[in-house]
Structure 1
Amino acid sequence: MRDMDFVPLGLAADLVILTVRDGRLQVLLIRRGIPPYEGQWALPGGFVRPDEDLETTARRELAEETGLTTERIHLEQLATYGAPDRDPRGRVVSVAYLALVPDLPAPVAGSDAASASWIDVQKVRGLAFDHDRILTDGVERARAKLEYSPLATAFCPPEFTISELRGVYEAVWGTPLDPRNFHRKVTKTPDFVAPVGTTTTRDGGRPAQLFHRGTATTLHPPMTRA
């Protein structure tokens, strides 16, 4: 292969940070302060520096663009995106990361971001670059993970009610669930949740039992969206 056949590449990391706020699945977005796509909403992210690995770049960009620290945020690689025309500045390959986190403080824009905000996933349209596709892939990964893992508990406080846990599933899956069936599935799934031994009235109505996350790493049988 001739040297001229090799195309110079830029390498970037982008982040899909999801949370449940006000009963809705929301994503952390920044409004770009520089070209290309100046003034347009985008996922946090940026170019990998010569002395960085990919995850280091992702965590640095999140802190620089939104002011949110990431020490306790678990990032997992979502996918790699490398369409030739995905970035007007040249050939750029991006490795996207996904994080599902409990409600975090309001972001504070910095670096090349003009602003930063949590935005309802259902209202997001027309993101910069190919970030609509990345977000869609991230949301579907999150929805699938809730079926076979106890990940939904990460959106809850350390002690939560079954109603609060159901609210997470409904927000992420975007569909209402039957309360009785959901309660039965959760409490019958081995080691999914464990009772704390106390109750709360914060859901309103009668006192509700409090639970915390159990020891299970996978759910058998899995939760279903129906």
Structure 2
Amino acid sequence: MTERDIPQGYDPKEFEPFAVTVDLAVFTVREALLHVLLVRRGQAPFAGAWALPGGFVLPRESAERAALRELAEEAGLSESLASGLHLEQLRTYSDPDRDPRMRVVSVAFAALVPDLPEPRGGGDAAEAQWLPVSRELEHSLAFDHGRILADARQRIGDKLEYTALAMEFCPPEFTLGELQGVYETVWGVALDRPNFRRKVLATAGFVEPVGGAPRRTGGRGKPAALYRAGAARVLHPPLLRPSVASTAEVHC
């Protein structure tokens, strides 16, 4: 933009300046529990509190680029590893008093990823860890990050309803019980096994049977049949969570 592009009489100083930040809610499944990547703040405000990774967007930087940079800096992930993550823009948080330092508008991102290496704190983060998601954790985070975490968890749960994202957390050959475990972990609910099996097998392209002998699972039941991911990436019909399923159904 040149001076000729600026409208006559326009004065940017008439508008109060504010900062733009990014915050990242990155989830993974560990030991049958949903975990989120958090950093412990090393400086005020909220020094010592857990927070989502993130930081200020630089003057000549996009929000997407800032998100990847902050993830690499604060969580200690390599640039190449951070750049390989698919971050989905969640929403913008702009309450005037969300940051005690000044007016700050945050662009939040969410991602559900296969298990990543152990993080290590960097930048202004004293440490970084994967922590199990819980209501208590949401209520203890710095700034409004509890609200962002809750919104991100809802978004990720929604994606499991209409996409094949859950497959990324299963081995190449898996049982339907293992697939059900991913849904139960992310959604935080117990699903009816026969109903879940029926819905999965009725969804075109979701899973494909694997030939060969069934695999014995950890329980006392008979060996379970093996499946692999099908070609579908969008599920028709979707697998609805119990909270939004038809009232005619009791389970799943």
What is residue 229 of structure 2 aligned with on the other side? 213
1:65 match: 74
- Pairwise CA distance, 1:201: 3.5
* Alignment RMSD (CA, Å): 1.8
Change (3 A) 1:219 1:67: same
- Residues 1:134 and 1:22: Cα distance change in structure 2 (over 3 Å): same
Whether the 8 Å CA contact 1:102–1:156 is kept in 2: the answer is: no
Query: Which residue in the other structure is 1:92 paired with?
Result: 104
2 CA distance for matches of 1:70 and 1:197?
37
Q: Deviations over 1:63-103 (max 9, x none)?
A: 11112332332111000011111111111111001100112
Structure ID, larger Rg? 2
Once residues 46 and 107 of structure 2 are traced to their aligned partners in structure 1, the CA distance between those partners, rounded to angstroms, is 20
Identity score, percent: 56
> How many residue pairs align between the two structures?
226
**How far, CA to CA, are the matches of 2:174 and 2:121 in structure 1?**
31
1:1-226 counterparts in 2 under 5 A? Answer: 5-68=14-77, 69-122=81-134, 123-124=136-137, 125-198=139-212, 199-201=214-216, 203-205=218-220, 206-226=222-242
| Structure number having the greater strand percentage | 1
Q: What is the one-letter code of the residue matched to 2:166?
A: A
Give unpaired runs (5+ residues) of structure 2: 1-9, 243-252
1:4: Cα distance to partner? 5.4
Q: How far does residue 5 in structure 1 lie from its aligned partner after superposition?
A: 4.3
Give CA-to-partner distance per residue, 1:100-138, whole Å, 9 cap, x none: 011222211111111111111114132111101100100
Q: Which amino acid in the other structure matches residue 88 of structure 2? A: E
Residue 241 of structure 2 aligns to which amino acid in structure 1?
R
Deviation at 1:8, TM superposition (A): 0.5
TM-score between the two structures when normalised by the length of structure 2: 0.83
